[in-house]
Amino acid sequence: MKRKIKFVVILGLLSLLSLKGFSQMSVSYYSSSLSKIGLAYNFSDKIWSELRLYSNTSIDDLTPELVLCYNIVEKEKHNVYLGLGGNMNYFTGFVLPVGVQFTPVEKFKRFSLHIELQPTLDLESDLMIQSSWGLRYKFGKSD
């Protein structure tokens, strides 16, 4: 039963992310000892949401993480963001991602690099501090 609920939640979140509208989609990769892949949905220039899945785990430990982020600093070549979200399964709790996303090459504005620090409160364990760096690609128009 628990597995079916997880499947329905993940399917529902992916369905919401696939809606067409005024937003922009992107994919990302977070490299660390707890690597993740993500699918983001930009609601506006300031607010975006991302569904992340921890990689390097077995199917039984597949851990989805959903975050809502806000760009607190927006410059031409970088953004600083703060987010709030949660995850469930291998880790079950709350996350608070803080990161910097920057575009190092002017001709390739769809590609960006990011670094992130993420305190994670695992309700079954303790507080962890995760850090990562990664790549992001935005589909559609470039800003």
pLDDT of residue 54: 87
> Taking the CA of residue 48 as centre, how many other CA atoms within 13 Å lie in the half-sphere pointing to its CB?
23
Residue 133 has pLDDT above 50, yes or no: yes
Position 4 pLDDT exceeds 60: no
At 12-41, the pLDDT tens digits run: 555 555 555 445 899 999 999 888 999 999
- Residue boundaries of the structural domains of the chain: 2-138
Out of 3.30.450.40, 3.90.1150.10, 2.60.40.10, 2.40.160.20, select the CATH number for domain 2-138.
Answer: 2.40.160.20
What would the pLDDT profile of 53-108 be if each residue is shown by its tens digit?
988 777 777 889 999 999 999 988 999 999 999 998 888 899 999 999 999 888 88
Compute the distance between CA of residue 94 and CA of residue 35 in angstroms, rounded to an integer: 17
State residue 63's pLDDT score: 87
Q: What is the pLDDT of residue 62?
A: 83
Spell out the residues 6+ positions from residue 34 whose beta carbon is closer than 8 angstroms to its own: 54, 56, 130, 132
Q: Which two tokens stand for residue 10?
A: 């993940």
Q: Is the pTM of this model over 0.85?
A: no
**What is the reported pLDDT for 3?**
61
In this predicted structure, what is the pLDDT of residue 22? 43
The pLDDT tens digits for 109-121 are 889 999 999 999 9
Residue with tokens 């949660």: 86
